[in-house]
Amino acid sequence: MLHDATIAQLAEALRAGEFSAVELTDHFLARIERLDGDLNAFITVTADSARARAEQADARLAAGNATPLTGIPIAHKDIFCTRGVRTSCGSRMLDNFVSPYNATAVEKLEEAGAVMLGKTNMDEFAMGSSNENSYYGPVRNPWNRDLVPGGSSGGSAAAVAARLVPGATGTDTGGSIRQPAALCGITGIKPTYGRVSRWGMVAFASSLDQAGTLARTAEDAALLLQVISGPDPRDSTALPDPVPDYAEALARPLGRMTIGVVDDFFDDGLDPDNAQRVREALSVMEQLGVTLKSIRLENIGLSVPAYYVVAPAEASSNLSRFDGVRFGHRAGDAGDLTEFYMRTRGEGFGAEVKRRILTGAYVLSAGYFDAYYLKAQKVRQLISEDFARAFREVDAIAGPTTPSPAFPLGQKVDDPVQMYLNDIYTIGAPLAGLPALSMPCGLVRGLPVGLQLIGPHLGEGWLLRAAHAFQRETDWHTLAPPGI
Amino acid sequence: MVWLCARFAAPNAVSLSLEDLKSLCILSRLEIASGEMEGVADKLSEIVTLVDALQAVDTAGVVPMAHPLDRAQRLREDRVTEADNHLRYQRNAQQVEQDLYLVPRVIE
Amino acid sequence: MEWEAVIGLEIHTQLATESKIFSGSSTRYGARPNSQASLVDLGYPGVLPVLNAEAVHMAVRFGLATGCTIARRSVFARKNYFYPDLPKGYQISQYELPIVHGGHLDIVTEEGGVKTIGITRAHLEEDAGKSLHEDFQGLSGIDLNRAGTPLLEIVSEPDLRSAREAGNYMRAIHTLVRYLDISDGNMQEGSFRCDANVSIRPRGETELGTRTEIKNLNSFRFVEKAIQVEIGRQIDVLEDGGSVVQETRLYDADRNETRAMRGKEEANDYRYFPDPDLLPVVIGDDLIERLQANLPELPAAKRARFIEQYGLPAHDADILTANPESAAYFEAAVSASRSASPKTVSNWFQGELTAILRRESVEVADTRVSAATLASLLDRVADGTLSGRMGKEVLEALWNGEGSVDEIIEARGLRQISDAGAIEALVDQVIDGHPEQVAQFRGGKTRVIGYLVGQVMKASRGKANPRQVNEILKNKLAG
C-alpha cells in the first residue's frame, strides 16, 4: 500500500512518475480524515495549502529540479511556528495564535518541496511524557487506543505509526522524540544540541530543546534531518559545523564499532520483557560485528532530579512572555495589572505547565538558587563528564528507551513524579547535549518497545548508520499497528 | 520504582506550605483556584522532594554547566534588517489602540 | 551633628548603534509606535537573540577609556520580572560577569580640585519599552520601539560626597561617552539617564547608612536637586529620631521633593540565571588592541593639551573641551587664523559666537559661521581693519549669510580709519568745537577725555581707530 512505503521509496516513485504529489497528498489527507478521529494526532490539518504545495511539487518534479523530499507529505509538531497557520503548542494560551513567521526547520522543509499536511498534537508546551497534557485532548496510541502514545511529540509519533504521514518533525527536551517513537514503534532521532536551529520553535527549556525527526526507518529520519540541520544566523546556539551527508553515512559499512552498555539500566526498574527485547537487539548488533562493552555512568541516576530543576527553571522564564498583551489568551475582566497577569496565565496554562513554572520559580528564587539550580548545573556537569569519559572507549551507548511499553491513559497523569521517573533513560543525552535515537526492537505483550542509541557530540552519522544496519537485519520497524 | 535514583534519594521529604505556594504564584503571576491550592502544594512538595536528591552528591569544585555548547557567542553585524510590520504583528494582539498595545493601567 | 552624604550613581546610556542589541530593528528615536518592534523585540514565541557586535565594541571602548579590566569572558543573564514595558517577562542583562569592571574617572570637586571616582562596573543590557499613561478607557498604552535598544549601565563606587560632585561626575561621564562617540547623550530623548543611591552618615563615621535609590533622573540639574533634597530629607528623618527606609524613590521636579515609588511593594526576586539563548562573550587581545589603538584623545588629555599648547587659562580649556565639537571648532579656527591669538579665538568663541548659538538655539556642530570664516574675521580685527564692535556686526552679518568677511566690510563700508592724518583732522575739529571741555582737561579734570574721544568717534561715524584717537588727542591736548 502507498502509505506503507518509506519516504525513500515514495521519492523514487514520484520521480518515476508512478503517481503525482497531489495524488499522494490526497491519499494521506484521506487517511487522516478517516483515522485521526479517535487517534487525535493532529491539532490542525492544512488540506488546502497542502494541495497547493503538492501542485507546486509536481511542477518542480516535472521541471526536474526536485529534491529527495519534493512532494513528500510531512507533519510538523505544533511547537514549530508556521506562517499563517495556528501554532498552539498544545495550549489554550496559544489557541488563537497565528504565527506571522516560519520556524527555520519549517522553512527548510518547505524549500525542499516537502508538503505539510498539518500540525500534530503534543503535551502543552512540550511538557509531558504521555501527551495527556494537551488542551486539545490526549493522543491515543495506534497500537491500542487505551494507551498513551508517549510524549511530548506524541501526535507526530502516532501519526507516523498509523501511516497518516510518512515522516514528521518533533522536539526533544528530555526524551520527547525518542520516548513516543519507542512507544509507537517508529524511529526517532534527536540530534546534537545546536544541530538544528531553534528559531521558530516555541521554547520550553532553551539549553535542552532540540528539534529532530520521526519516521519509520532510520533512512527516512536521516533524509528529513539532512534538510533541517545546519547553521542559522538567527540562532546563536546553532552549530556552525557543516552538515555531513547522512545518506552517504548510511551507505557505508558499520565497520569496527564499539557500543557501550550501561548495566545499571537493566535493574529492576526495567520491565523484564522490555529488557529481554533490548538484549536480543544488542546480540543482533554483535552479529553485525559490533563489539559490546559494559560501561558505567556514575551519576546518570541523578539525571532525573537534575533535569527537573534545570528544565522548569528555564521554562518558568521562557513562559513569562505569555502575558495576554501582544498575542495569545487574554483574561476577560481585567482588574489591576497583577490580577490581569495572574488571571490570563491562570486561565491559559494547564496543570502540568503551572507545576513546572512554579517549580522553576522556586528553584531560582532567593535562598534556593544555590541548593537547587546551581547544584543541578554542577550535577549536569558531572553527568556530562561521565558521558565524555565513556565516549573515549565506545562509539555509542545502547540501552532501553523506556522502562516499559506504553502505559494506560490516566495511569500516571496525576502522579507527576512517577511520570518524571519514566524519563530516566532519555534524559541524560539532552543534559549533555548529545545526539540519541530510538528505533523499534521488538514487541512486549504485543506493544512496541525501543532500543536507544546515544552518540558523542555530532555523532548523528554513527547512530544512523548503526540503526540502518540494524534495520536491514530486522523487520521490527516494518510492523504496523493492528488494523492499520 | 525510584530504583536508579534510589541510590541518591533524599532522606527526608520537603514540603511547601500554602504560604510558599502563594508567594510563588505572585512571583510567577499565576492564578490557582483556591480549591486547588492544597493539591498543587502537595504535588510541588513531591517534586521538590524528588529533586532534593541532588543534595546527596558531593559537587565540591565542580564547575556549573550552564550550557551544553562550550563555544563563544557569535556576533551580529550592526545593520538594520527589520522592516515595519506592526500592523501584521498586532493582528495577534487583542487590544490595540493608536498602534499601542493596551494593558491595565500602570501605576508608579 | 555634622552629616556626610555618600552617593553612588548608576548611569544608563543608550549606545549609538544603528540596530538593536539583539535584533535588526532600527534604534531611531521618535518613530511611529511599535513600528520598530520586531518579533524579537516583541518577545514572540520561538524567537532568539543574536548579539550586536558594535554594542560590544562600544562597551569595550568605554572600559578602555576608564581604565577598566575588560572581561575576556562575560555572560548575559536573565533578570526576571513582569512589567508591561518588558515583553519577554525578563530583561537580558549582565549580572555576575559584566563586560568591563574596576575602572575610574577624574572629576572636578566643588573646591575646583581633582577627585578620582571609582567605576565598579559597566555592563550591557537591553532597554525596556515605554508605557504611555494617557488614558485609554482606564488602560495604558505600550510602545515597544525602545525595547531592545542597547544600554551600557555604568555603576560608580559610592565615592561621591555631594549633589554637586554627583552632577560633575555625571557631566564627566556624559562628556566621555560623547568623545568616544558611543552615545548621542541626548537627555531629552532619554539616551542618558541615571539612578542615584543616596545615604548619609555622621561625618567621620565609616559605616554606610541605609540608602535610598532615586530612579530615572534625566538631567544634570535634576540629579543635583534630587540628591540635594533627598540628603535633606534623610537628615530630617534621622534628626527627628526616625530611621531611613531602604526603598526606591522618584523625584518630583514640580514639588522639588522625592517620594517613595508605589507599585513595587512586593519584594523583587529577580531570579537571575545565565541566558541559555546566548553563549559567553569572548573578547581576545586582538580586538582589545584594535579598539585601544582607535581611541580618540580623551577629555582630560585634550584639556591639558589646550592649556599647554595654546597657553589658555584652565577655565577656557574646560569650556572648549566640554564637548568634542567645541574643541574641534576652536582648533580649526586657531589653525586657520593668520594672526589671531588662541586666547582671542577662545574669547570670541565663548563670547560672541556662543551668544548667537544660544539665541538661535543651534548646536556648535550646526553653526552657520565656520571656523575658517571666524578665523578670517578675527584676522581683520587683528590687522586693525575692524574694531571689536565692527567685528561683532560682521559676525551677525556672516550668520545672516551676507557673504564673506571682506564682502561684508565693503558692502557696509566698515573699514576702520587708521590713517593718522585723517584722524588728526577730526581731532582738531573736536578740539576747536569744545573749548570748554578742553579747558577743563587742561585744568586737571582729565576724565573729560572720554567725552572728547566719543565726539571724535562720532564724527568718524565709528570708523576711527579708538586707540589712535586716544593717543593723538592726548598729545594735542598736552601740547
Angstrom distance (rounded) from CA B49 to CA A305: 9
Confidence of residue B108 (pLDDT cuts 50, 70, 90): low
pTM above 0.95, yes or no: no
Angstrom distance (rounded) from CA C246 to CA C257: 17
Under an 8 A CB cutoff, do B74 and C35 touch? no
pLDDT value at residue C479: 67
Q: Which residue type, as a one-letter code, is found at position A39?
A: L
Angstrom distance (rounded) from CA C450 to CA C459: 14
Q: Are A167 and A224 in contact (CB under 8 A)?
A: yes
Judged by a CB distance cut-off of 8 A, whether residue B106 touches chain A is yes
Of B71, B84, B104, the CB nearest to C35: B84
Give C95-149 as a 3 state SS string: CCCCCEEEEEEEEECCCCCEEEEEEEEEEEEECCCEEEEEEECCEEEEECCCCCC
Q: Which residue type, as a one-letter code, is found at position A193?
A: Y
Q: Are A130 and A120 in contact (CB under 8 A)?
A: no
If one counts every other C-beta atom within 10 angstroms of the C-beta of residue A367, the result is 9
Under an 8 A CB cutoff, do C90 and A317 touch? yes
Judged by a CB distance cut-off of 8 A, whether residue A392 touches chain C is no
Least Cα distance to A111 among A191, A217, A226, A241 occurs for A226
pLDDT value at residue C262: 66
Q: Are B75 and C51 in contact (CB under 8 A)?
A: yes
Tell which A residues from 292 to 331 touch C, by Cβ distance under 8 Å. Answer: 313-314, 316-317, 319-323, 325-327
Confidence of residue B7 (pLDDT cuts 50, 70, 90): low
Angstrom distance (rounded) from CA C250 to CA C258: 5
Tell which C residues from 159 to 198 touch A, by Cβ distance under 8 Å. Answer: none
Q: What is the dihedral of CA C444, C448, C453, C454, to 10 degrees?
A: 180
The strand ranges marked E within A314-423 are 396-400
Least Cα distance to A398 among A249, A277, A229, A479 occurs for A277
Q: Are A72 and A116 in contact (CB under 8 A)?
A: no
Q: Which residue type, as a one-letter code, is found at position C384?
A: G
Angstrom distance (rounded) from CA A410 to CA A130: 9
User: Which residues on chain C are in Cβ contact (under 8 Å) with B90?
Assistant: 34
pLDDT value at residue A465: 96
Of C48, C276, C278, the CB nearest to A314: C276
Optimal mutation site among B30, B43, B58, interface A, most CBs of chain A within 10 A: B30
> C384: phi > 0 → left, psi -120 to 50 → alpha, else beta; which?
left
Tell which A residues from 149 to 208 touch B, by Cβ distance under 8 Å. Answer: 193-194, 207-208
User: Which chain A residue shows the shortest CA-CA distance from B33?
Assistant: A346
Q: What are the angstrom distances between the C-alpha of A30 and each of A110, A164, A239, A330, C280?
A: 22, 9, 39, 36, 50
CA distance B51 to chain C (A): 18
User: Which residues on chain A are in Cβ contact (under 8 Å) with C279?
Assistant: 236-237
Optimal mutation site among B31, B37, B79, interface A, most CBs of chain A within 10 A: B31
Q: What are the angstrom distances between the C-alpha of A323 and each of A348, A417, C275, C355?
A: 9, 28, 20, 53
Of B80, B82, B100, the CB nearest to C33: B100
Q: Are C171 and C105 in contact (CB under 8 A)?
A: no
φ and ψ of A277, to 5 deg:
-60, -40
User: Which chain A residue shows the shortest CA-CA distance from C85?
Assistant: A325
Judged by a CB distance cut-off of 8 A, whether residue B15 touches chain A is no
The tens-digit pLDDT sequence of chain A (484 residues) is: 899 999 999 999 999 999 999 999 999 999 999 999 999 999 999 999 999 999 999 999 999 999 999 999 999 999 999 999 999 999 999 999 999 999 999 999 999 999 999 999 999 999 999 999 999 999 999 999 999 999 999 999 999 999 999 999 999 999 999 999 999 999 999 999 999 999 999 999 999 999 999 999 999 999 999 999 999 999 999 999 999 999 999 998 888 899 999 999 999 899 999 999 999 999 999 999 999 999 999 999 999 999 999 999 999 999 999 999 999 999 987 689 999 999 999 999 999 999 999 999 999 999 999 999 999 999 999 999 999 999 999 999 999 999 999 999 999 988 999 999 999 999 999 999 999 999 999 999 999 999 999 999 999 999 999 999 999 999 999 999 999 8
Joined grid coordinates for residue C221: 540639574
Of C39, C50, C139, the CB nearest to A236: C50
Residue B11 has pLDDT above 60, yes or no: no
pLDDT value at residue C265: 47
Helical (H) or strand (E) element with A15: helix A7-16
Q: What is the pLDDT of residues A275-323, one digit of tens each?
A: 999 999 999 999 999 999 999 999 999 999 999 999 999 999 999 999 9
The tens-digit pLDDT sequence of chain C (479 residues) is: 899 999 999 999 999 999 999 999 999 999 999 999 999 999 999 999 999 999 999 999 999 999 999 999 999 999 999 999 999 999 999 999 999 999 999 998 878 788 999 999 999 999 999 998 777 888 899 999 999 999 999 999 999 999 999 999 999 999 999 999 999 999 999 999 999 999 999 999 999 999 999 999 999 999 999 999 999 999 999 999 999 999 999 999 999 999 998 655 456 899 999 999 999 999 999 999 999 999 999 999 999 999 999 999 999 999 999 999 999 999 999 999 998 999 999 999 999 999 999 999 999 989 999 999 999 999 988 887 888 888 999 999 999 999 998 888 888 877 777 778 888 888 888 888 888 888 888 888 888 888 888 888 888 877 888 888 888 888 888 76
Least Cα distance to C93 among C22, C27, C25 occurs for C22
Judged by a CB distance cut-off of 8 A, whether residue A203 touches chain C is yes
The 3-state DSSP class for residue C258 equals strand
Q: What are the angstrom distances between the C-alpha of A242 and each of A112, A195, A229, A364, A395?
A: 18, 9, 9, 36, 21
Of C44, C48, C88, the CB nearest to A235: C48
* Residue with cell string 494537551: A134
* Residue with cell string 518534479: A61
Angstrom distance (rounded) from CA C347 to CA C466: 20
Joined grid coordinates for residue A326: 501582544
Q: Known catalytic residues of A?
A: 77, 152, 176
Q: What are the angstrom distances between the C-alpha of C156 and each of A378, C7, C8, C61, C185?
A: 33, 9, 6, 17, 18
Q: Which residue type, as a one-letter code, is found at position B103?
A: V
Of B26, B99, B103, the CB nearest to C266: B26
CA distance B65 to chain A (A): 5
DSSP per residue, B42-104: HHHHHHHHHHGGGGGS--TTPPP---S---PPPEE-S-------HHHHGGG-S-EETTEEEEE
Handedness of CA A49, A50, A55, A61 (dihedral sign): positive
Optimal mutation site among B23, B67, B70, B76, interface C, most CBs of chain C within 10 A: B76
Optimal mutation site among A362, A370, A411, A418, interface B, most CBs of chain B within 10 A: A362
Confidence of residue B6 (pLDDT cuts 50, 70, 90): low
Query: Parallel, antiparallel, or unpaired: how do β-strands A167-172 and A210-215 relate?
Result: antiparallel
Judged by a CB distance cut-off of 8 A, whether residue B57 touches chain A is yes
Joined grid coordinates for residue B50: 524528588
CA distance A336 to chain B (A): 6
Query: Parallel, antiparallel, or unpaired: how do β-strands C139-143 and A291-295 relate?
Result: unpaired
CA distance C49 to chain B (A): 10
**Chains with ≥3 CB–CB distances under 8 Å to C:** A, B
pLDDT value at residue B81: 97
Least Cα distance to A329 among A43, A135, A61, A56 occurs for A135
Spans of all domains in chain A? 10-252+459-473
CA distance B105 to chain A (A): 7
Instruction: Please enumerate in sequence order all residues whose Cβ is within 8 A of that of C5, keeping only pairs 6 or more positions apart, or say none.
Output: C160, C161, C162, C163, C198, C199, C200, C227, C231
pLDDT value at residue A230: 98
Q: What are the angstrom distances between the C-alpha of C245 and each of A241, C199, C210, C233, C249?
A: 55, 10, 7, 12, 11
Stated length of chain A: 484
Residue B8 has pLDDT above 60, yes or no: no
φ and ψ of A201, to 5 deg:
-100, 115
Instruction: Please enumerate in sequence order all residues whose Cβ is within 8 A of that of A64, keeping only pairs 6 or more positions apart, or say none.
Output: none
Angstrom distance (rounded) from CA C165 to CA C116: 11
Query: Parallel, antiparallel, or unpaired: how do β-strands C150-156 and C192-202 relate?
Result: unpaired
The CB-side HSE value for B30 (13 A sphere, CA atoms) comes to 30
Joined grid coordinates for residue A428: 541524560
pLDDT value at residue C412: 82
User: Which chain B residue shows the shortest CA-CA distance from A431?
Assistant: B68
Joined grid coordinates for residue A110: 518547505
Query: Parallel, antiparallel, or unpaired: how do β-strands A291-295 and A258-262 relate?
Result: parallel
If one counts every other C-beta atom within 10 angstroms of the C-beta of residue C479, the result is 5
User: Based on C-alpha coordinates, what's the Rg of chain A?
Assistant: 21
User: Which residues on chain C are in Cβ contact (under 8 Å) with A205?
Assistant: 276
DSSP per residue, A343-356: HHHHHHS-HHHHHH
User: Which chain B residue shows the shortest CA-CA distance from A194?
Assistant: B69
Angstrom distance (rounded) from CA C317 to CA C323: 11
Number of alpha helices (DSSP H) and beta strands (DSSP E) in chain C: 16, 17
CA distance C273 to chain B (A): 9
Residue B2 has pLDDT above 70, yes or no: no
Angstrom distance (rounded) from CA B91 to CA A435: 39
Instruction: Please enumerate in sequence order all residues whose Cβ is within 8 A of that of A342, keeping only pairs 6 or more positions apart, or say none.
Output: B25, B26, B29, B30, B31
CA distance B87 to chain A (A): 11
Under an 8 A CB cutoff, do C250 and B108 touch? yes
CB pairs under 8 A between B and C: 128
Superfamily classification of domain A10-252+459-473 = Amidase signature (AS) domain (3.90.1300.10)
Instruction: Please enumerate in sequence order all residues whose Cβ is within 8 A of that of C63, keeping only pairs 6 or more positions apart, or say none.
Output: C69, C70, C99, C100, C103, C122
